[in-house]
Chains A and B, each alone.
Chain A
Amino acid sequence: MSGAVIDPRQAPIRAAPKKALSLSWSDPRFRNIVWQVVVLGTVALIVWYLVQNTTRNLAARRIATGFAFLGRTAGIPIGEALIDYDPSISTYGRALLIGLLNTLKVAVVGVVLATILGTLLGIARLSKNWLIARLSAIYVEVIRDLPVLLQLLFWYTALQGLPTPKNSFHPLPGVFLSNRGIKIPVVEWETPFWWALAAFVVGVIGTVAWSRSATRQQEATGVRPKVWPVALGFLVGFPVLIWGALGAPFAVEMPVLRGFNFTGGATVSPEYSALTLGLVIYTSSYIAEIVRSGILAVPTGQWEAAGALGMRSGTVLRKIVLPQALRVIIPPMTSQYLNLTKNSSLAVAIGYQDIVSIASTTLNQTGQAIEGIAAIMLVYLIISLSISLLMNWYNARIALVER
């Protein structure tokens, strides 16, 4: 070790000698500190000025600050809620929670549907069939160039233009399309379903374990045991068995037309349908482009090399192309998911009661403008951060591991 440093390139770089900070404009460090103090001071001054004005204005209008209003009775009528709500007793806090759940309901369903539709469109745009490729391209170009709010209003008016419940469309048994929304039959939920659900979760764990052991076996012997029969048994067979053993209850509640409206079944409101439909159509046009460029980003040589190894086309797509394309796809896809979630705030324009809609009703009723908007911003920041973290985690997982 001692005296072994012969190559001068390996010698440690000598750090510049530390100089004391001189209070002179020609010292860059001093300049930097002064600049930062100036900028921060200006920002602090502006903030202080705004806070001063705000406290004075609030005092003049006799508005109490703070979140005490969350505990008061809301009295906001809410059309659709995932949890129990009664305007005469429920609080503002609960109303806002319902708004948040409604936002999440649109965002989650929208993200899933937009991903499916967008991926199909992106692949269709690469189709060898000229007509399919052209149609998909036209869809993408037209939808991207129209404001999403215009599209939402259009779909909402279109859904409201559906016939009344009496003359509703009836495409499938138990499904009714009318200007009151979409009516669908529901299966009555009973205890055995919970057990079947638990069995399904166990099945998922079992499938993952089996697939891992199959991979180990493949690495050891070169032969991969079949996974799908076991997976099928675990994921479908086991829950069905449990459900059957518990008496196989199955009762469907059908919507029935009584008088001017339906009873029974579940309703998907026109507001929710219009919002989800509009957001899915709009976002899928962006996702289609992302998917297309992701697939094109995989060099042709990769397809050819995999083909030369004798892989079948499905295997090539799954094992060679998609893992590489995903690396290109994931980051822009994340921002599209965020955009969809943020665009769901346009619900307020078509009367769907999401967090923005309920918060703005709240701040109109209570005058608590700052708290109301802070609540909205907080919700979106938390949702944005969660989606970003989740997608970053996924991105890190599939990232290229280099030497």
Chain B
Amino acid sequence: MSEGSVRTTAQLAEAARDPVPAIAGIAAAPVTERARPNAAAFAPVAWARANLFSGWISTAVTLALIYLIARWAIGFFDWGILHAVWTVPETATGPDASACRDAKGVGACWAMIGDKYRFILFGRYTYDEQWRPAIVVALFIGLYAISAMRRFWRKELLLIWIATLTAIGVLMWGGVLGLTYVPQDSWGGLPITLILSTFGLALAFPLAVLVALGRRSTQLPAVKALCVLYVELIRGVPLITLLFMASVMFPLFMPAGFNPDKLLRAQVAVILFAGAYLAEVVRGGLQSLPRGQYEAADALGLSYWKKTSLIVLPQALRLVIPPLVNTFIGFFKDTSLVLIIGIFDLLTAGKVAITDPVWQSYSTELYLVLAAIYFAFCFVMSRYSHGLEQEFSRTVRR
């Protein structure tokens, strides 16, 4: 975050130097009238004069915006904190939400979240066993954190991924090590979102590398055509159609009697979808590698697979890590689409939570909480990929 704000300040300084914004017509102060650094002036005042009140239009816009922000912030504070209902009394028939009903329109009803948070996070997973999905979420976060650290970018990382994903499977299903078996139908909430996106990425990645290599191939026109067809077909249609295919057409494709679980089918759809997008990302990496690298490998007499695995991929994949993270953010958000085919991910669990007659009219509160969860994951990842991008571009320039 701090790096981000430093960058922005530098950018703003740059923006202040070049005439783009003035032309853009918002802060249309003539260049000559710009406040000059004055040795006697107090620094924040000088800064404010240069960046907030540099002309009469700029001043007017600033004042109007400050007024609007203040009004909105006060309103939100009133609604979200001052007049909010944090807890409601528990009765024999369930929570008594009359306090929330009285505060409707004036204050938020956070009591709903307090009552339902375990359902939102873990869905219909056996209540007494919900420590297992909680550990799974922690494992996922740990896996992301380790993968993000440069010093773990080695072959052993693959083993860590396999081990963690296996542990996640064991924890979710149970049935071994004294854990009770929990069928897939009753999984739900945040773990499903994480499973769909992470397994989707992990399993789509090898596929994507193969497809990208196939698409770059000059020697195998038939394979190339096949790869182009796959990538363009998948990228041309919305994810929804693939999910529909998984839920409606998949049973038709399989031999009679073989009917895999809905979650598994959706996972296959996500993998196929992710494969096409990742293939394009990987292809970008392959293309940005200088031709000399390929020619040098050829000159050494390396075979195609040796050249690819020893020379090309290690360099190309490093380059694509930032766009890879960005694509992952996309998948993470897009897994929410499984709502439409009725899979219990975080968003679906939230929507089901407010079908409870007691809490029916408090969807705003719910959506704000869900938004905060999604935002926390995506924001951290996007900051990370941004930092990495900056670092890489520095290295390349040197």
Contact = CB atoms under 8 A, between A and B. Distances in A.
Contacts of B371: 146, 150, 154
B62 interface: yes
A148 B339 CA distance: 12
Contact of A35 (B58, B223, B337): B223
Interface in A1-49: 28, 32, 35-36, 39-40, 43
Contacts of B249: 369-370, 373
A345 B339 CA distance: 13
A127 interface: yes
B238 A343 contact: yes
A217 interface: no
Interface in B330-382: 333-334, 336-337, 339-340, 347, 351, 363-364, 367, 370-371, 374-375, 378-379, 382
Interface residues of A, number: 69
Interface in B1-53: 8, 12, 15-24, 26-27, 29, 51-52
B236 A313 contact: no
A380 B241 CA distance: 10
Interface in A292-309: 295-296, 300, 303, 307
Contacts of B51: 128-130
Contact of B252 (A124, A132, A369): A369
B157 interface: no
Interface string B199-215: 00000000000000000
A317 interface: yes
Interface string A362-403: 010000011011001100110011000000000000000000
Interface stretch (B134-142, B164-172, B253-261, B315-323): B253-261
Contact of A137 (B8, B237, B382): B8
B237 A380 contact: yes
Contact of A32 (B21, B29, B220, B239): B220
A147 B374 contact: yes
Interface string A108-142: 00000000000000011011111111010100011
B219 interface: yes
A32 B374 contact: no
Given A157-B367, A343-B238, A369-B248, A146 B220 contact: no
A146 B22 contact: no
B302 interface: no
Given A149-B347, A303-B20, A129 B54 contact: yes
Given A149-B347, A150-B347, A381-B236, A307 B379 contact: no
B88 interface: no
A56 interface: yes
A218 interface: no
B242 to A, nearest CB: 9
A346 B240 contact: yes
Given A127-B24, A131-B65, A363-B248, A146 B58 contact: no
Given A313-B19, A373-B249, A360 B244 contact: yes
11 contacts: A28-B219, A43-B226, A58-B252, A60-B256, A129-B58, A131-B52, A142-B375, A144-B382, A147-B374, A346-B240, A356-B240
Contacts of B219: 28, 32
Given A131-B66, A321-B23, A343-B238, 11 more contacts: A50-B253, A123-B21, A124-B24, A128-B15, A129-B21, A129-B26, A132-B27, A145-B379, A148-B333, A342-B238, A356-B244
Contacts of B236: 377, 380-381, 384-385
A349 interface: yes
Interface string A314-326: 1011000100000
Contacts of A313: 19, 22-23
Most chain B beta carbons < 10 A, residue from A39, A141, A146: A146
A307 B30 CA distance: 13
Contact of B375 (A39, A146, A300): A146
Contacts of A146: 333, 371, 374-375, 378
A58 B238 CA distance: 26
Nearest to B47: A130
A377 B52 CA distance: 50
Interface string A158-189: 10010000000000000000000000000000
B238 A145 contact: no
Interface of A: 28, 32, 35-36, 39-40, 43, 50, 53-54, 56-58, 60, 123-124, 126-133, 135, 137, 141-142, 144-150, 153-154, 157-158, 161, 295-296, 300, 303, 307, 313-314, 316-317, 321, 342-343, 345-346, 348-349, 356, 360, 363, 369-370, 372-373, 376-377, 380-381, 384-385
Contact of A129 (B61, B233, B237, B239): B61
B329 interface: yes
A224 to B, nearest CB: 21
B238 A36 contact: no
The 10 closest A-B pairs by CB, nearest first: A145-B378, A130-B51, A128-B27, A342-B238, A128-B21, A147-B333, A147-B336, A345-B238, A36-B222, A123-B24
Contacts of A137: 8
B284 interface: no
Contacts of B347: 147, 149-150, 153
B362 to A, nearest CB: 10
Interface in B68-83: 69
Contacts of B223: 35-36, 39-40
A128 B13 CA distance: 9
Contact of B382 (A53, A145, A153, A369): A145
B374 A130 contact: no
B220 A53 contact: no
A370 B252 contact: yes
Contacts of A130: 12, 51-52
A57 B252 contact: yes
Given A133-B12, A303-B19, A307-B19, A35 B220 contact: yes
B300 to A, nearest CB: 17
A348 B256 CA distance: 30
Contact of B253 (A53, A133, A380): A53
Contact of A295 (B20, B62, B221): B20
B252 A373 contact: no
Contacts of B62: 129, 131
Given A32-B219, A131-B66, A300-B18, A373 B248 contact: yes
B65 A345 contact: no
A57 B370 CA distance: 41
B375 A145 contact: yes
Contacts of A149: 336-337, 339, 347
B297 interface: no
B209 to A, nearest CB: 16
Given A146-B375, A150-B336, A303-B19, A127 B226 contact: no
Most chain A beta carbons < 10 A, residue from B24, B69, B382: B24
B251 interface: yes
Contacts of B239: 342
Given A57-B252, A57-B256, A153 B19 contact: no
